[in-house]
Amino acid sequence: MAEKSRQRQYSWSDPHATHGQHVSLSGLDFISSLARGEIDHSPAAHTLGFRVTKAESGSATIDLTPSEYHYNAVGSVHGGILTSILDSAMGFAISTTLPPGVGYTSLDVTVQFIRAVTESTGTITATGTAQHTGKTTATALGEIRDSTDRLIATATTRCMLFPAKE
């Protein structure tokens, strides 16, 4: 007998409205508003199921509770999911150092995976820490830890900075 397929439904807000708020606020104010739930998370955040939980100048924290829909073919959370939340946490950390009207995008991300993640791992936390913010580029470090503070993955990124368009 064939196994019944699984389904997942979710919704998201207009990303253009969120972008308009990003352009008008400092990065710290924008990421803090995400963490407080005053601004809705991006469609990507809704798709992956993560949320920003903390923002301070130079750092940002994201929580993700692993689910079956995050799994790869070998039964653990896909490395691309972990990379995505690290990329977001590090980018958000850089954002917290930026004034209004400055945008950013990842130039590169390097990830080192240390242990597998499954539903039984429980909620994982990705933390990004800005290391350097210059005129045209910025760098950050990231890590993912489980609820017992075990290290899951580490990462570095380099982002390009540019005037944000409304």
Classify residue 10: in a domain, yes or no: no
Residue 126: CB atoms within 10 A of its CB come to 28
Query: Where are the strands (E) in the chain, listed by range?
Result: 50-56, 59-64, 102-113, 124-133, 137-145, 151-163
What CA dihedral angle connects 35, 159, 132 and 90, to 10 degrees? 30
Q: How confident is the model at residue 3 (pLDDT cuts 50, 70, 90)?
A: confident
Task: Give me 91's structure tokens.
Answer: 């980018």
Classify residue 91: in a domain, yes or no: yes
Classify residue 140: in a domain, yes or no: yes
| Per-residue pLDDT tens digits for 5-62 | 899 999 998 888 777 777 789 999 999 999 999 999 999 999 999 999 999 999 999 9
Q: Are 54 and 98 in contact (CB under 8 A)?
A: no
Classify residue 135: in a domain, yes or no: yes
Parent domain of 66: 15-163
Query: How many structural domains compose the chain?
Result: 1
Tokens 């073919």 found at? 73
Classify residue 34: in a domain, yes or no: yes
| Per-residue pLDDT tens digits for 113-145 | 999 999 999 999 999 999 999 999 999 999 999
CATH of the domain at 45: 3.10.129.10
* Residue 166 pLDDT greater than 70, yes or no: no
Classify residue 3: in a domain, yes or no: no
